Every structure is written in C-alpha cells, then in structure tokens.
Structure 1
Amino acid sequence: MKDSGMGGLEAQVAPQLHLNGVKPSHLATAASAAISTPASTTAPKTGSSPAAKWNTKNLALRLGADIISAASAAALVAPIISIIDRSIMENASGSRPLVDSLKSSLRSLLRHPAGVVFSKPFALIFAVYGGTYLTANTLDTATSTVRSLPATHVTSGTAKFAASSAANIGVCIYKDQVFVRLFGPPGITPRPVTVPSYLLFAARDCMTIFASFNLPPLLGPVLSRRLGDEVQRHVSGQTLAQFAAPAAVQLASTPAHLWGLDIYNRPAASSWGERWAAVRKNWAVSTAARICRIVPAFGVGGVVNLKVRRGLMDTLV
C-alpha cells in the first residue's frame, strides 16, 4: 500500500454502484414502501413512555352502583343487627338477660317497625355497614379505573383491608360508645368510654373486617375446587366463604368485645383474672349472638352487596 503522505494509508476508492440492472419501477416501489412505513415502527426515544390508559367508562354510573348496593345491603341487615347488639350490651351490663332483650326488641319490630327503623340504634348500624360496604365498593371501582380492569373487578389485598377497617372502626367505635351509654348498667350515670375499651373494640373490628372482605376472595376459589358440581349448583364456594369466614372469626373477636364492655361496665375491677371470669361467663352466649349478627352483617349483607353491585356493573361494562 502507498503512503498517502498524511500519516495514514492511501484511502481506497469506494466501488461504483451499478444501477444499469435496476428498473425504474423497482425504485418507485421501494420509495413508496418507505414513505408508507408507519412512524410507530421506529424505535422510541429514550425516556419516552406510552400514555396511561384508565377505564373511565360510565364511571359516574359505576359510583352510583356502589352507593345503591351498599345502601341496599345496609338497610336489609340494620334492623336485626341493632336488636342483637342491644341484647348483647344489656346482657353484659346486667340490665336484662340476652334472651329477654331479644324477645322484647323483636316484638317492638313486629308491632312498631317504623319506630325501630327511625331509631338511633338503626341509624347507627346503617351508618356502620353502609359506610363499610361503600368504602370497599369504591376501592374496587378506583382499582378497576386506574388499572384499566373490568368494572366487576373485586380486590382482596391490603388496601381493601386498611380502607374498610378505617371506615368500619371509625363509625363502629362511635356506635359502641353510644350503645354502652344507652344500654349500660342500670342506675349509673353514663360516663366516657376509655381508651382501653376503644382499643379492644378496634381489635374486634379489624378481625371481623379481615375475615369479611379479605378472606372470602381467597377462600372462595379453594372451596369451589373442593366442592362437587352437585353442591355448587346450590351454593358457590365464594358464597360459602362469605358466610363462613366472618362467623368463624367471632370465636376470637368476641372475648375482645366482652373485655372492652367489662372495662366500661366495671371500671373498679381489680385484676385481669376478675375480668376474664366475666368474659368467660358470657363468652358462649355472646359468641352465638355475635355469629347470629355477623351472618346477616357480612354474610347476607356481604352477598347482597356483592351481587347487587355485580348485577349493576354487568349492565355498565
């Protein structure tokens, strides 16, 4: 190779392109193909990202469906739950035995239903469960919107547990302090509910919320796989889980409830053993009563809320 005289090798001459064999029609076809190539086939610029897509279809109507389903479920279960809650409170305070309280309240419901429906206990229970159902429903709607999922999507994660617990505990603690004053020990001036009672009521509600909103979506598919086709013609695994999980957790949550009531009813109790004796005395009958209240609250109410919402959402998909 010859020296180029500039400290390098002599540059080689590029070979000539021979276009004699290329027809004009070929060039025209190639040019038109290059022009028609969509811009999306080109590589995106560094740092660019596709626009987020949200499922906002019929969003206002979907929120309306959340409200309707929550209110329907709460109105259905509030009468019986308010009666059972009153009987548990009166039994724990010594005002009346649980069975006598139930009989009296049921007679009032049958003879004067308007008086029960428009009473403060009914309104408080409606607020507790209506607010809880609505929080869970709107969280599902928010999740389906942000993640572009179907409107019928139902979540079961930590966010639902936290949001539902916050809504339930916030209203339920207010309800409890009103109930203990209305149906507390006879002849005693109502006094403020103390922090230990509030904490025990909150623990009770956290257990119930977890078993009512988080466990059924997880247990439902498992039960469906284990149930035979004949059984599932009558009841699905999801429905069975919605009834069983909230009821079963009352075995653990009822002692917390009774302990909180005992702190209010007997503030002068001197020892843990003395309080535990009172809890153990009322544990069996109170657990049975709370299972009877939780089945309508998160069993019947949960199924009604779920099915009404799903039926409404199916029309909006």
Structure 2
Amino acid sequence: METCNLRNWKGKWSRQLAGDFMAGLVSATLISPIVIVIDRSVVERLASDGSLLRTLRTHAFCSILQPKRFYSSKPFFIVWSLYASTYVTANATDTCISQLPTMNESSTSASLTRTFSFLPTYAANVSLGILKDIRFAQAYGNTGHLPSTAPRVPRVAYLAFLIRDSITISSSFTLAPQVASFVPDWVTGDPHIKKTISQLALPALVQFVNTPLHLFALDLIARPHATTIAERSALIRSNWAQSSSVRAARVLPAFGIGVVINRELREVFQQRMIGG
C-alpha cells in the first residue's frame, strides 16, 4: 500500500511539473515579441540620436510583416530562452515546495523556505538576462550585428545589471504578492484582483529606479572609452524619462502580464494533467 501511494504521489508530481513546463513555454512565446522590440529599441536609441518611437515602430512592423525573419533570429531565441527559463523555474520551484511536508506546518523552516523560494528563479533570470543585455549592447549599441569577437565587458557593467535585476525580480516574485493587501478596498475587495493589480503595477514602477543602472551598464559596453563620469551622466539624464517609461512598458508584459498569464495557464495545465 505504501509503495502504491508513493507511486501515485510521484505520478501526480510529474504531471504537475509537466503543466509547469507547458505554461512557462507558452507564456514566454506570447510575451517575447514585445520584449525584444522594446529592448532592442532602447539600446539603439541610446547609441544614436534617432527617435525612440520611430525605432519601436520599425521593429514592431518587422515582427508583423517579416515574421520568419523576426522569429527565427538569434535575438528572439535569446529573449525567448530567458523568459521560458524564468517562468518554468518559478513554476517548478512552487510545485516542489508545495510537495514538502513542512509546507503544511507553521514552522520556522517553512517560513524560511517560502522567503527564499525566489532564489532559483532569480538565478535563472539574472544569469540569462545579463547575457541577453550584453549581447544586445554589443550587437545594437554600435554596429547593428552580432560581432564575431565580442569586446571585454567591464565588471562594473555586470554589477549594475545584477543590482537592476535583483530589484526587478524581488519586486515581481516576492514583493508584489505581499503588497497586494495594500490595494484599497474601494478599488476592489477581491483578493485575487488585488494580487493581479500589484503584480502589474509594482514591477513597472520600480523601473524608474532601475533605468539609470540599465543605461549606465549599456553605455559602459557600447562606449568603453568614454572618459568622464559627467559624460555618461549627461547621456543617462537625457534618456532617463523616456527610457524609464519604455522599460516600465516592457516590464509590464514580462513581469506583469506574463506572470499573470503564466500563473493562470499553470493552473489550467496542472488541472488537465492531473485530471488526465
């Protein structure tokens, strides 16, 4: 009997993980086109005096009018891999934690496990996210194509990206659910809707703090020989407002809408897998 129960538990767990995997892949496919258009446009705008809106429009039209070229490109694969890995890791971590016996207890170990449950997602997103930003800065910050020999990336740029992503990930996967209760009841009394509102709003708002770090790191990679801090600061100040707004719009699909879609799809796929 005990062996049978263990086999059933393992079967249920594996089906839940399959649902996690499918939800993550579908969610990444839905939001990646928006993310790649915005990220590439911000990098190209920083390296030129062109209009950000014009650059956004150009790449958006490319995704619609030249889908084969757009969706088969290396930049799309990089962005898709980043968010597929992020969502799948977040889903699988939640599923694994839910299977731990201590999670049903109000214990210190259970509290600590929940507190640090974002770390696997953080590791997956930050490592691939920094790689993506470096490749984009090298490709579109200067020449417009992926170089055969990439220049050395300053350590300070890595640090800036790391701090930027730490703020974004913690606000998206840890703080957003916790601050849902602060949404006023006159907005909505439904806890599920409050959670959705905080998930959409908080990651976008923190980009106004993150963007100077983002622009600083991109400029270090694109212009490694710029001589003064004042030179870089002037560039960051001139691009902060517009780039912050665009990055807030970019984070909305990636860590707002994307997380909500992933959460809903995960429930649907897991129910179907378990029910099947």
After superposition, the Cα gap between the structure-2 partners of 1:106 and 1:271, relative to the gap in structure 1 and judged at 3 Å, is same
Shift of 1:235: 7.5
After superposition, the Cα gap between the structure-2 partners of 1:290 and 1:215, relative to the gap in structure 1 and judged at 3 Å, is same
Q: What are the Cα deviations for residues 21-78 of structure 1, in whole angstroms up to 9, with x where unaligned?
A: xxxxxxxxxxxxxxxxxxxxxxxxxxxxxxxxx9656011000011011111100000
Shift of 1:246: 0.4
Q: Distance in 2 between matches of 1:101 and 1:167?
A: 29
Q: Is the 8 A contact 2:207 2:248 kept in 1?
A: yes
Q: Secondary structure of 2:99's partner?
A: helix
Residue 170 of structure 2 is aligned to residue 210 of structure 1: yes
What residue in structure 2 maps to residue 219 of structure 1? 179
1:85 aligns with one of 29, 33, 39: 39
Q: Secondary structure of 1:193's partner?
A: coil
What residue in structure 2 maps to residue 27 of structure 1? none
1:143 aligns with one of 97, 117, 136: 97
Q: Distance in 1 between matches of 2:87 and 2:259?
A: 8
User: Where do residues 259-270 of structure 1 align in structure 2 (5 Å cutoff)?
Assistant: 259-270=216-227
Residue 201 of structure 2 is aligned to residue 244 of structure 1: yes
What residue in structure 2 maps to residue 75 of structure 1? 29
Shift of 1:192: 2.5
Q: Distance in 1 between matches of 2:191 and 2:17?
A: 31
2:83 aligns with one of 121, 129, 135: 129
User: Structure 1 regions of 5+ residues with no counterpart?
Assistant: 1-53
Q: Is the 8 A contact 1:212 1:298 kept in 2?
A: yes
Residue 69 of structure 2 is aligned to residue 115 of structure 1: yes
What residue in structure 2 maps to residue 94 of structure 1? 48
Deviates more, 1:179-188 or 1:293-302: 179-188
What residue in structure 1 maps to residue 109 of structure 2? none
Counterpart amino acid of residue 203 in structure 2: P
Shift of 1:216: 1.8
After superposition, the Cα gap between the structure-2 partners of 1:148 and 1:308, relative to the gap in structure 1 and judged at 3 Å, is farther
User: Where do residues 148-187 of structure 1 align in structure 2 (5 Å cutoff)?
Assistant: 157-186=114-143
Q: Is the 8 A contact 1:204 1:253 kept in 2?
A: yes
Deviates more, 1:199-208 or 1:89-98: 89-98
Q: Is the 8 A contact 1:55 1:148 kept in 2?
A: no
Greater helix share, structure number: 2
What residue in structure 2 maps to residue 23 of structure 1? none
Q: Is the 8 A contact 1:77 1:297 kept in 2?
A: yes
- TM value normalised by structure 1: 0.74
Q: Is the 8 A contact 1:132 1:168 kept in 2?
A: yes
Q: What are the Cα deviations for residues 255-302 of structure 1, in whole angstroms up to 9, with x where unaligned?
A: 100010111122222332222111111101110110111000011100
Q: What are the Cα deviations for residues 219-262 of structure 1, in whole angstroms up to 9, with x where unaligned?
A: 22342xx324x745798001001101100110111110001011
RMSD: 2.7
User: Where do residues 260-299 of structure 1 align in structure 2 (5 Å cutoff)?
Assistant: 260-299=217-256
Residue 159 of structure 2 is aligned to residue 199 of structure 1: yes
- TM value normalised by structure 2: 0.85
Counterpart amino acid of residue 68 in structure 2: A
Q: Distance in 1 between matches of 2:56 and 2:42?
A: 9
Counterpart amino acid of residue 171 in structure 2: A
After superposition, the Cα gap between the structure-2 partners of 1:235 and 1:140, relative to the gap in structure 1 and judged at 3 Å, is closer
What residue in structure 1 maps to residue 58 of structure 2? 104
Q: What are the Cα deviations for residues 169-194 of structure 1, in whole angstroms up to 9, with x where unaligned?
A: 11111111211121022499752322
Higher relative contact order (CA 8 A, sep 6+): 2
User: Where do residues 30-69 of structure 1 align in structure 2 (5 Å cutoff)?
Assistant: 56=10, 58-69=12-23
Q: Distance in 2 between matches of 1:206 and 1:274?
A: 27
Q: Which one has a bigger Cα radius of gyration?
A: 1
Shift of 1:135: 1.2
Q: Is the 8 A contact 1:129 1:168 kept in 2?
A: yes
After superposition, the Cα gap between the structure-2 partners of 1:149 and 1:248, relative to the gap in structure 1 and judged at 3 Å, is same
